[in-house]
Amino acid sequence: MIPHILFVCTVNRMRSATAHKIYENDECFEVDSAGTDRTANVVLEEWHLEWADAIVVMEKQHQNKIRDRFPEWYDKKPIACLYIEDIYGYMQPELIAVLKEKFEDVWRRGLLV
C-alpha cells in the first residue's frame, strides 16, 4: 500500500503547495495539501485527515490548529513538523531544497509510520 501524505501550511499557496507539486509524481507516496486558514486555496477539512496516513506540517502552529479543530484525528495520525518558515515563494529553488532535505529526513527516520 502506498502511504498517503498530507502537507499542511497556512494558506496552501507556497510551502504545502510546493511540497504537493514536487512529490505528486513520486511512486513512493500519494500526496495532497491543504491550509489551516479559511482563506487557503484548499482549506483543511476532516476528510483530508481521514484520507491521510501521515501529516506533515510546516510549522508547530499548524499542528496546534489540527489538535484544536480535529482532536479526534490528532491522536490517530502521525504528524511531523518540518519547521519551515513562511519566507519562500511557490516553487522557489531554496524552498524545494529545504523541503526535500527535511521531508526526506523525516521519512528516512521512520517518523511518519
The full set of domains in the chain, from first to last, is 4-102 (3.40.50.2300)
Q: Quick one: average pLDDT of 82-98?
A: 98
Q: Quick one: average pLDDT of 43-63?
A: 98
Contacts of 101 (CB under 8 A, 6+ apart): none
Identify the pLDDT of residue 5: 98
pLDDT tens digit sequence for 58-83:
999 999 999 999 999 999 999 999 99
pLDDT higher at 113 or 28: 28
Q: Which of 11, 7, 5, 3 is nearest to 63 (CA)?
A: 7
The answer to whether the CB of 26 falls within 8 A of the CB of 5 is no
Say whether pTM exceeds 0.85.
yes
